[in-house]
Amino acid sequence: MLYNNKSTHQHADHHCHDSCQNITHNHAHNSLHARNINKNHQSNLGRENHDHIQTQTNDLDPPPDEPDQQSPTVKLTWKIQGMDCAHCAQKIENGIKTLPDINQIKMTFSTGKLMVFVPNNNKEIIKLIEDKVVELGYTPIFESLPHHHEHSHSLDKKALLPLVTLGILIVISYIILLINHDIGKYAFIVTAIIGIIPIAKEAITLTRSGTPFAIETLMSISAIGALFIGAAEEATMVIFLFMIGEMLEGIASNKAKKGISSLVELMPEETVIVVDGNRKTVASHSLKPDDIIEISSGGRLPADVILISEQASIDESALTGESIPVNYLYGDKILAGSLVVDNTIQLKVVSETGQNAVDRILQLIEDAEERKAPIERFIDKFSRYYTPAIALLSLLVMVIPPLLIQTDWYTWIYRGLTLLLIGCPCALVISTPAVITSALSSAAKYGVLIKGGAALEHIGSIKMIAFDKTGTLTEGKPQVTDVINRDITTEHLLTVVAAVESGSHHPLAKAILDYAKQNKIVFTEANNRKAIAGVGIQGDINQETFYVVAPNRLDTLSPQLPQEDAQLIQQLETEGKTVVVVVSHQKLLGIIALQDVLRQDAVSALNQLHQLGLKTLMLTGDNERAAKAIAQQLNIDYRAELLPADKLNEIEKISTTTAIAMVGDGINDSPAMKAATVGIAMGSGTDVALETADAALTKNSLLSLPKLIRLTRFANRNIKQNITIALGIKLIFLITSLFGITGLWLAVLADSGTTAIVTANALRLLKLKK
């Protein structure tokens, strides 16, 4: 096809890998719809926006506790393995804070990266930090280079051993209990002790490391309290359910963290460098500005570069989410991580080590997470006050009455122990995971993966949803929408275009070829298929030359468009469509329009979200005209021509006043998804988008979204009900136990009964209908 520079669509002839685009460089991530802009103006815009990415990133506000840049500090970095949740990251931070000579700590859960700022770099400090991390139950891997490939870890089989062992012991204890009740009681006591030992050890370690009332401490007190009053069976089951909950959370987190490495993997480890005409392979991280590199077709760019070959077709979909390759010319800037589509090309490096486009997106993800206040589980917050307060009250009840009013010790010790059991938040510990597990199960039926209880709570509270356009609200690939023939039949027009496009692998060309095949058009590849740099493609059929060209490049062939056709093309472009024209002998033969069409479920899903009272917003890198066309079809507000940093800024601005979810599918959406109250990824999206999200639509259907909102709102109500039930019954029995109205056996019944009630309430989520 004939196309302008970064306009519509162009093909290279040697390797049949086509390069074409209808996109200006300053909006290189736009889809099909940018139009004719002067080449010099395009290049300048490209430079401005490339620099804009850098400026946006560098101007991000530093964290409030950033160390004083004037004081001498050394940054030490580790990769931490074994973390299951953001709570683990908080434990590590609290633990390292207790060490000497620590200026500042930054622990990022999504990337598993620990950064510690210390006065000087010596082996003693490194060993102290690593020993503390190991003591807390995690594995530190010291990093010395800017990029390390991460390795995803599935559930550790060793982690299953305590759970399986405890399960077997519970079954054995029940069998013994059925045979001999007294011996069975002792069997349960032994089982409970075996189960509580590892949890109690971790609770002690956490207490020494600055987290005295973590959930491990809560569990230890609950189980020991139950043992103390003879409720060994309950103690055992509480431990067992707790261990199951921790294991499930670990599985979800491991799946959630698989994708971040794909960002690093966009960067090739080795690159061919050209020095005085000689080629040699070097490590990519050793590249410096002004180095000349050579990348073959199918290779990725290791740095931000300037093209010094005549032209290149570049696939930026991994970085921008936009499906159509961009055609670049000599002197244009191209971002790291992009894929070379056609010929071997030479480029000049312009970015410093650690400062390319991929590095900046990684930094955006980390910064977005850092600005987001760490979410602590309700049970941990509550236990900081509830558990120690009840333990203190229990002790006072045991001691003060006998000392002050000389009553018998047994009565008040008995009441104190009863209070201790009432104070054990077993129902809370069990019921919250029960709600989450039930909600996750129901969500899976709807085609949604929710990553943890915090995400569940936040999704249910959102008031606005922001959407990426390409691949989220639209199909993410162009389709032929209009075929207008002039002086020849539609079949003849399609035959000509298909023959010229035959053999191409470009998205626009493939869309036209697919359309021709759907209409059962028979064609053979044109002869002398040839690309014209920055213009389009031509081919010969029966010794007649045909051109496929963007309307704004017709001046290179001299034909004048009739006024009627010029108005028709303008109307199609106003609708956000990409238009190509077919000419021969300076005569117009036909017009073909293509567009990235809406998903079939987009309109219905958006309507349901509006009915649920949610505001909606579309954030896109696409041009204003294309964005407006889509927004009008969906009745949605929009912001167009946004870079990844711009999307992040929009989300941050909104999230200060409104709970907002961001739905996306590309790497460029990841920073915004992290900064939003909730990030939701499309199942067809990149691994990084899925990783950074709090939830993923695994069936790749937008109709799952309103179902998810209904489910999470119901779950939030359920959790509040459970908390009210658990604490309400506890309060009633706490008062009755204090006055001796209820004894140990009723306290056990109340505790178990409350647990049963809240668990049954949680199971209602499994039966939730549409």
612: confidence class by pLDDT, cuts 50, 70, 90:
very high
Cα–Cα distance measured from residue 214 to residue 219, given in angstroms and rounded to the nearest whole number: 9
* Average pLDDT score over residue span 465-477: 85
Higher pLDDT, 205 or 347: 347
Residue 720: per-residue pLDDT: 84
Q: Are strands 527-532 and 695-697 parallel, antiparallel or unpaired?
A: unpaired
Q: Are strands 305-307 and 345-349 parallel, antiparallel or unpaired?
A: antiparallel
Higher pLDDT, 43 or 478: 478
Residue 374: per-residue pLDDT: 33
pLDDT over threshold 60, residue 9 = no
- Which amino acid type is present at position 439? A
Task: Give the range among 80-84, 405-409, 765-769 with minimum mean pLDDT.
Answer: 765-769
Nearest CA among 635, 674, 632 for reference residue 652: 674
* Average pLDDT score over residue span 26-46: 33
pLDDT over threshold 80, residue 627 = yes
Tell me which H or E stretch contains 246: helix 232-256
Cα–Cα distance measured from residue 366 to residue 384, given in angstroms and rounded to the nearest whole number: 29
- Look at residue 709 and give its three-state secondary structure: helix
Kindly state the percentage of the chain with pLDDT values over 70: 69
Cα–Cα distance measured from residue 571 to residue 552, given in angstroms and rounded to the nearest whole number: 14
Residue 21: per-residue pLDDT: 32
Question: Could you identify the residue written with the tokens 């007649």?
Answer: 544
Cα–Cα distance measured from residue 670 to residue 645, given in angstroms and rounded to the nearest whole number: 10
**Active-site hit among 304, 315, 468, 596:** 468
533: confidence class by pLDDT, cuts 50, 70, 90:
low
Ranges assigned E (strand) in 221-277: 270-275
Backbone phi, psi, residue 750, to 5°: -60, -45
Residue 607: per-residue pLDDT: 94
476: confidence class by pLDDT, cuts 50, 70, 90:
confident
Task: Give the range among 57-66, 114-123, 241-250, 543-552 with minimum mean pLDDT.
Answer: 57-66
Residue 463: per-residue pLDDT: 94
* Average pLDDT score over residue span 555-560: 70
Q: Which residues make Cβ contacts (< 8 Å) with residue 770, sequence separation at least 6?
A: 707, 710
Nearest CA among 656, 682, 658 for reference residue 669: 682
Cα–Cα distance measured from residue 461 to residue 452, given in angstroms and rounded to the nearest whole number: 15
Cα–Cα distance measured from residue 686 to residue 470, given in angstroms and rounded to the nearest whole number: 13
Buried b (16+ CB within 10 A) or exposed e, 435-458: bbbbbbebbeebbbbbbbbbbbbb
Cα–Cα distance measured from residue 140 to residue 129, given in angstroms and rounded to the nearest whole number: 9
Among 77-81, 506-510, 602-606, name the most confident range: 602-606
Cβ 576 vs Cβ 560: under 8 Å = no
Three-state secondary structure readout of 358-422: HHHHHHHHHHHHHHCCCCCCHHHHHHHHHHHHHHHHHHHHHHHHHHHHCCCHHHHHHHHHHHHHH
pTM above 0.75, yes or no: no
Q: What is the tens place of the pLDDT at every residue in 210-269?
A: 766 566 775 677 677 667 767 788 678 777 877 775 676 555 445 434 444 555 677 888
Cα–Cα distance measured from residue 618 to residue 367, given in angstroms and rounded to the nearest whole number: 23
684: confidence class by pLDDT, cuts 50, 70, 90:
low
pLDDT over threshold 60, residue 347 = yes
Cα–Cα distance measured from residue 241 to residue 235, given in angstroms and rounded to the nearest whole number: 10
Neighbours of 177 (CB within 10 A): 18
Kindly state the percentage of the chain with pLDDT values over 90: 17
Residue 282: per-residue pLDDT: 92
Active site residue 646: no
Q: In what order do the strands lie in the sheet with 544-549?
A: 474-485, 587-598, 578-584, 544-549, 536-541, 527-532
Residue 587 zone, left/alpha/beta (φ > 0; ψ -120 to 50; rest): beta
Nearest CA among 666, 711, 244 for reference residue 450: 711
* Average pLDDT score over residue span 314-329: 72
Cα–Cα distance measured from residue 591 to residue 409, given in angstroms and rounded to the nearest whole number: 97
Backbone phi, psi, residue 121, to 5°: -95, 100
464: confidence class by pLDDT, cuts 50, 70, 90:
very high
Backbone phi, psi, residue 497, to 5°: -65, -45
Ranges assigned E (strand) in 599-633: 615-619
Question: Could you identify the residue written with the tokens 């973390």?
Answer: 83
Q: Which residues make Cβ contacts (< 8 Å) with residue 660, sequence separation at least 6?
A: 462, 463, 464, 465, 466, 651, 654, 676, 677, 678
Nearest 5 degrees, angle CA 275-CA 276-CA 281?
25
